[in-house]
């Protein structure tokens, strides 16, 4: 998957979990329905700017090697710089209907 840093930051830093129900929310795409739920939301400890930036930098260092390796394995390329539903659909399609590389 390809994703720009700003999109990754928005998606990860704005997500939160309701520890009581286990429901997941996103402040922009799927906000909590009530103030009470919003007050009890918790953020995963790795979903903060600096941690994400460090992980993204590490990923960027190995990006070309990862692309080479996975393209040889027949992996599909997905642009994650789309709405989450479209990305999910692309991932699901790649799992349900994998590309036939045998020529059959």
Q: Within 10 Å of residue 16's Cβ, how many Cβ atoms? A: 22
Q: Residue 24 corresponds to which tokens in the numbers above? A: 């997941």
Top-tier CATH class for 5-96: alpha beta
pLDDT at 84 over 60: yes
Of 87, 8, 83, residue with least CA distance to 53: 8
Length of the chain: 104
The pLDDT-based confidence of 98 (bands split at 50, 70, 90) is: low
pTM score: 0.74
Residues 10 and 56 sit within 8 Å (Cβ to Cβ): no
pLDDT at 9 over 90: yes
Give the pLDDT score at 37.
97
Residue 60, sorted as left (phi over 0), alpha (psi -120 to 50) or beta, turns out to be alpha
Residues 17 and 23 sit within 8 Å (Cβ to Cβ): yes
Give the pLDDT score at 103.
52
The pLDDT-based confidence of 56 (bands split at 50, 70, 90) is: very high
Q: How far apart are CA 55 and CA 32, in angstroms?
A: 28
> Structural domain boundaries of the chain?
5-96
Of 8, 95, 1, residue with least CA distance to 55: 8
The pLDDT-based confidence of 83 (bands split at 50, 70, 90) is: confident
Give the pLDDT score at 102.
55
């Amino acid at each position: 998957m390809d994703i720009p840093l700003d999109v990754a930051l928005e998606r990860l830093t704005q997500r939160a979990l309701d520890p009581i129900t286990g429901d997941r929310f996103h402040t922009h795409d799927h906000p909590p329905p009530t103030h009470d739920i919003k007050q009890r939301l918790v953020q995963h400890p790795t979903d903060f700017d600096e941690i994400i930036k460090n992980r993204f930098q590490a990923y960027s260092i190995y990006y070309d090697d990862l692309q080479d390796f996975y393209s040889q394995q027949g992996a599909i390329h997905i642009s994650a710089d789309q709405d989450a539903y479209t990305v999910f659909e692309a991932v699901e399609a790649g799992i349900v209907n994998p590309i036939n590389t045998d020529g059959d």
